[in-house]
Amino acid sequence: MILAWTICLLMGTGLLAWLASRWSDTLPRIISLAGILLFLGIVLYIWFGHPAGGRWIVHYTHSWISAFGIRITLGADGLSLLMLLLTAFLGVLSVLVSWKEIKTRVGFFHFNLLFILAGITGVFVSLDLFLFYFSWEVMLIPMYFLISIWGYENRTYAAGKFFLFTQASGLLMFLSILGLYFVHGRSTGIYTFDYEALKGTLMSRPTAFLLMLGFAAAFLVKLSTVPFHSWLPDAHTQAPTAGSVLLAGLLLKTGAYGLIRFVLPLFPQASHQFAPVAMILGVVSILYGAKLAYAQTDLKRLVAYISVSHMGFILLGIYAFNQIALQGVIMQMVAHAISTGGLFIIVGALHDRIQTREIGQMGGLWTLVPKMGAMGLLFVLASLGLPGLGNFIAEILILTGSFMASRILTILAALGFIAATLYSLRIMQKVFYGTVLKKWAIADFGIREMIVMGSLAIVIIWLGLFPNSILNGTQKMVQGVIEQVTITANMAQNENR
C-alpha cells in the first residue's frame, strides 16, 4: 500500500504546486521540494527498515479493470528500491537546480517534474504489465512538455524527436504485451497481465523471440543504444538542466531496468538467442558514442554522447548473463546517473553564466570559478572511469563479467577506457584549462549549488569506496534473475540433445 501512496503523494504534490503558482513563484518550489523530500524519507525508511525474507520487500495488489484481468500490482525488491532511492535523490536535485533557472510558468514546470517522477516510480514498481505500460507513457508526456516549453533554442525539434522515438518503440512494446497476454490466455485460459503469472508462459521459440524483440525495442531505444541513440543528444542538449538530469539519470535507466526486470525473466531462452547481437550493439555503443562525444563542440551534446557510451556498458553487462556483470550494470545505472547528472548540472550552470555551450568560447575558467572547476574535474574523472569513484566499480565489474562471456568483445569494450580518456580530458582542457578567452564576469557556485554538487560528489566517492553498501541490497534479486536465466537455458539445451 505504501507504494501506491508514494505515487499518489508525488502526483498530489504536483497538482498542489501547480495550484500554488497562482500566489507566488517560490511556493511551488517549496511544495515540490517538501513533497520529494518526504518521498525520499519514505524510500529510505523502506530501504533501511525492510523486513528480511520474501521475494518482494513491499507488495501490493488491487483490482483495477477486472474485465481484462488488469490489476494494480506494485512490488519492490532490492533493485526497485535502489532505483526509487535514485529517483528521489535526483528529484530533490532537479528541484534545486531549477530554483533560479526556471523563471516562466513555474507551477506548471513543477507539475510536470513531479508527474515525471510519479511515472518513473510507477515504472520501477509496477508488476502488472498493463500498469507498467501505463506508467511508461505517463513519464513520457510531461517530459515532452518539459523539453518543449523550458528547453533551449531548438527545443521543439528535440522534443518531437524524443516523443516519436520513445512513442513508436513504446507501441511495439505494447503490442508485445498484448501478444504475451493472449498467448498466455490461450494456453492457460487465464487472461492476466500479472508479471509473476506471465513469467512461466509456454510458447514456441519464434513467438518468444518476436515478443522479446518488441520489449527489447522499447528498452533499447530508451537506453539509447546505437543505432537508436539519435534522439538522446538532441533531447539532452535542448532540455533544461533538470530535464537533462532526469533524462540521463532516470529515463535511460528505465530501459536498463526493463531489460533486467522483464526481458530476461520473461524470455530467458530468446534472450540467450539475442545475446550476441545485444553485446555487439553494446560494444558499438561504447566506441561509437565515445567517438561522437570526442567530436562534439557543444559541451552539453558532448556530455549527452558520453551517456550513449556508458549505456553501452550496461547493455554489454546485461547480456553477459552472470552475477558479476549484472551487479556491475546496477552499479553503472547509479554511478552514471550521478556522474552525468553532475556534468549536466555544471554545463547548465555554465550556460546560465556565459550563455553559450560552445567549447570554443570557453577556456581558462578554472581561474574564475575554481569550485566549479574542481567539481568538473571530479565528474570528468568519474566518467573516464577513475578507480575510487563509482563508475570504475561498475565498469570493472561489467567487463570482468563480460570477459567470461566473450573475450573479444570485452577487449574491444576495454578500448572504451582509452576513448573515455580522450573525450573526458578534452572537457578539462577546453573548458577549465588554458587562457581566458573572454572577459567573463561570472560567479562561482553559490551555497545552493554547492549543496547539490557536494551531495553528488559524496555519493560518487562513496560508491567508489563502499560499493558493497548497495551491491548487498541487490544481490538477492540479481542472483534470482541469473539463476532463472541459466536454468532455463540449460533446460533448453538438454531438450535439444
Partner 1 sequence: MSELLWLIVALPFAGSLLLAMAGKHLPRLAAAIIGVGSVALSAIVMLILGLDFLHGNPAGVPIHQTLWQWINVSGFSPGIAFHLDSVSLTFVFVITFVGALIHLYAAPFMWKDEGFARFFSYMNLFVGFMLLLVLADNFLLLYLGWEGVGLCSYLLIGFWYKDPANGYAARKAFTVTRVGDTAMVIGLFILFTTYHTLNIQDILVATPHTWAPGSTIATTTAFLLLGGAIGKSAQVPLQTWLPDAMAAPSPVSALIHAATMVTAGVYLIARTHVLFELAPVVQSAVAVIGAVTLIVAGMAAIYQHDIKKVLAYSTISQIGYMFVALGVGAWSAALFHFMIHAFFKSLLFLGAGSVIAVLHDEHNMYKMGGLWKKMPVVFWTFLVGACALSALPLITAGFYSKDEIIWQAYASDKGSITLWLTGLAGAFITALYTFRMVFLTFFGKAKAEPAYRQGMGMTLPLVVLAFLSFVGGFIQLPDNMGHVTLFSHFIQQVLPATTPTGTAVIAGLPSGHAAEWIAQLIAAIVSIAGLTLAYRLYYNKPFPAAEPVRNPIQQFFFKGWDFDLLYDKVIVQPIVFFSRIDKNDVIDQFYTGLASVAGLFNKGLAATQNGKLRWYAMALAIGAVITLTILLST
Q: Footprint of partner 1 on this chain (CB under 8 A)? A: 161, 226-227, 229-230, 233, 291-292, 294-296, 322-324, 327-328, 363-364, 366-367, 370, 374, 377, 381, 386-388, 392-393, 396-397, 399-400, 403-404, 410-411, 414-415, 417-418, 421-422, 425-426, 428-429, 432-435, 465-468, 471-472, 475, 479
The nearest distance, CB 221 to partner 1, in angstroms, is 12
> Distances from the Cα of 408 to the Cαs of 104, 348, 391, 394, 412, in angstroms?
52, 38, 22, 19, 6
Grid cell, residue 101, equals: 533557472
CB nearer to partner 1: give 88 or 419: 419
Indicate the residue among 70 and 378 with the shorter CB distance to partner 1: 378
- Residue 274 or residue 403: which is nearer to partner 1 going by CB? 403
Measured from the CB of residue 420, what is the shortest distance to partner 1 in angstroms?
9
Residue 275 and residue 315: Cα distance in Å, rounded? 10
Q: Which is nearer to partner 1, 200 or 446 (CB)?
A: 446
Tell me which amino acid residue 174 is. Answer: F
Nearer to partner 1, 351 or 371 (CB): 371
The three-point CA angle 212-213-218 to 5° equals 105
| Shortest Å, Cβ 325 to partner 1 | 9
Between 63 and 429, whose beta carbon lies closer to partner 1? 429
Nearer to partner 1 by C-beta: 205 or 438? 438
239 CA to centre of own chain: 16
Q: What is the total residue count of the chain?
A: 497
Instruction: Work out the number of other CB atoms within 10 angstroms of the CB of residue 225.
Output: 24
Nearer to partner 1, 173 or 393 (CB): 393
Give the nearest distance from C-beta 82 to partner 1 in angstroms: 15
HSE on the CB side for 318, CA within 13 Å?
32
The four Cα atoms 269, 271, 274, 280 give a dihedral, to 10 degrees, of -140
Q: How far is the CB of 183 from partner 1 (least distance, A)?
A: 32
Cα–Cα distance measured from residue 487 to residue 497, given in angstroms and rounded to the nearest whole number: 16
Cβ burial 77-113 (10 Å sphere, 16+ → b, else e):
bbbbbbbbbbbbbbbbbbbbbbeeebeebbbbbbbbb
Which residue, 231 or 257, has its beta carbon nearer to partner 1? Answer: 231
**Is-contact 463 244, C-beta < 8 A?**
no
CB of 414 to partner 1, least distance (A): 5
What is the closest distance, in whole angstroms, from the C-beta atom of residue 267 to partner 1 in the complex? 23
DSSP state, residue 309: H
Q: Do the beta carbons of residue 140 and residue 163 sit within 8 Å?
A: yes
CA distance 264 to 279: 14
Integer-rounded Cα Rg, in Å, for the chain is 22
Q: Smaller CB distance to partner 1: residue 101 or 444? A: 444
Tell me the closest approach of the beta carbon of residue 115 to partner 1, in angstroms.
28
CA dihedral 328, 461, 41, 196 (to 10 degrees): 0
Q: Nearest Cα to 198, choosing from 73, 51, 64?
A: 73
CB of 480 to partner 1, least distance (A): 13
CA-closest candidate to residue 486, choices 329, 321, 261, 323 = 321
Q: How far is the CB of 175 from partner 1 (least distance, A)?
A: 21
- Nearest-10 crossing angle of helices 390-405, 268-295: 130
